[in-house]
Amino acid sequence: MRINESPDFADSPTKPDLRLTDTGNKGLFERLGKKGKNIASGVFARANDPLKKYDLLAGLLIGFNEDRTKIEEKKAIRSETEVFNLNGQIETEQTLAKLMQQEIESLKAMGVPTGELESNLKESEQKIRDLSRKKDLQQTNCEARTNKMSELANYKADAADMAIECYQKAIKDLEIEQDALLTQKKGIEIRIEKMKISHEIRTQELDEYSKQKAQLKVNMLVNGINEYEIKTNSNILYLTKLIADGNQQMRMDMSDLTITKEEIIAQIIKIDKQIAEYRDKAIDYGRNKEIKPISITLPERYPQKSPADETQIEIHHD
């Protein structure tokens, strides 16, 4: 099997034949790196149960994307912190530039030279531009990290959906099997009830044979026949065998049905346990989908200023 192919389990009618190329799952293998693909291929090669294969693959995909998300989160947090630090420096520098602008205007009104102060103002404006560029770069990087985290969350959700679909299909198949067993059980119970009625009739017949046997023995004793002759009498032997065989047959018939019923009940209990396990698995994968990336908050970007606007320095609060 090539790495980018999904395994085919069409020969397993009782197991889900879900392929990674199905709608919504296409490309899951491709989202793994080379190492992840090799691990996934090994998982499929070792596992015998098709459902187990997909469970292992989903776990691998979810774990892989969670690890990548943690890396992106750490980088995004660093960028977020840097953006706010730069934003604070820009606001501080803007405040100083505004004060210098006001001082220049005041000195000019009084006819005082302002060359040095204007030079300082230009340096401040240049620093604001440099800091703004750094902030924009960090903010762009942080936004890219945030988008990547959302993408990874979607990949993880796809993997969880794949596993949930597998387990839901397996549950449905087991429920169909369980319904068939319940129908069989009901049929066996009906047969048992009918057999009880027939056994009551048969028991009455055997009781009559027992009475005939007892009466025959009394008659033989009255006629002076000894115990040995009575015991070995063909009629007595026939009735004894008839009664014994009848009771044994009733016990065997009832035992066979009872054992069959118990076996069916055991299968139903086993399937019920398996359904519960599969349902728990599906619910757990659903919980994985609910885990969202951290929330990153960024300030608004400062508007770009043209050189003509540089004498109008404003304070921006984000």
Which pLDDT tens digit goes with each residue over 192-219?
Answer: 999 999 999 999 999 999 999 999 989 9
Residue 60 confidence (pLDDT) above 90:
no
Residue 53 confidence (pLDDT) above 80:
no
Residue 315 confidence (pLDDT) above 70:
no
Question: Taking the domains of the chain in order of start, what are their residue ranges?
Answer: 29-168+293-303, 176-290
175-180 long-range contacts, CB within 8 A, separation 24+ = 175/275, 177/14, 177/271, 178/268, 178/271, 178/272, 178/275
User: With contact defined as beta carbons under 8 Å apart, do 164 and 282 qualify?
Assistant: yes
- 3-class DSSP state of 27: coil
Residue 124 confidence (pLDDT) above 50:
yes
AA letter at 60: L
Band of pLDDT at residue 307, cut at 50, 70 and 90:
very low
| Alpha-helical runs (H) found in the chain | 34-46, 50-109, 115-222, 227-231, 234-290
pTM comes to: 0.65
User: With contact defined as beta carbons under 8 Å apart, do 272 and 178 qualify?
Assistant: yes
Q: Given the structure tokens 């501080």, which residue do they identify?
A: 92
Q: How far apart are CA 6 and CA 241, in angstroms?
A: 67
User: Which burial class, exposed, middle or buried, applies to 115 when counting CB atoms under 10 A from its CB (0-12, 13-18, 19+)?
Assistant: exposed
> What is the predicted pLDDT for the residue at 316?
38
In the chain, % of residues over pLDDT 70? 80
The residue count for the chain: 318
- On average, the pLDDT of the chain sits at 81
Higher pLDDT among residues 249 and 36, named by residue = 249
Give the pLDDT mean for 30-41.
Answer: 65
Higher pLDDT among residues 188 and 63, named by residue = 188
User: With contact defined as beta carbons under 8 Å apart, do 254 and 195 qualify?
Assistant: yes
- 3-class DSSP state of 81: helix
Residue 301 confidence (pLDDT) above 80:
no
Packing angle, helices 234-290 and 50-109, rounded to 10: 20
User: Which burial class, exposed, middle or buried, applies to 160 when counting CB atoms under 10 A from its CB (0-12, 13-18, 19+)?
Assistant: buried
> What is the predicted pLDDT for the residue at 40?
64
> What is the predicted pLDDT for the residue at 47?
64
Band of pLDDT at residue 33, cut at 50, 70 and 90:
low
> What is the predicted pLDDT for the residue at 204?
93
Q: How far apart are CA 33 and CA 42, in angstroms?
A: 14
- The closest of 72, 36, 33, 35 to 153, measured between CA atoms, is 72
Q: Given the structure tokens 């980018």, which residue do they identify?
A: 4
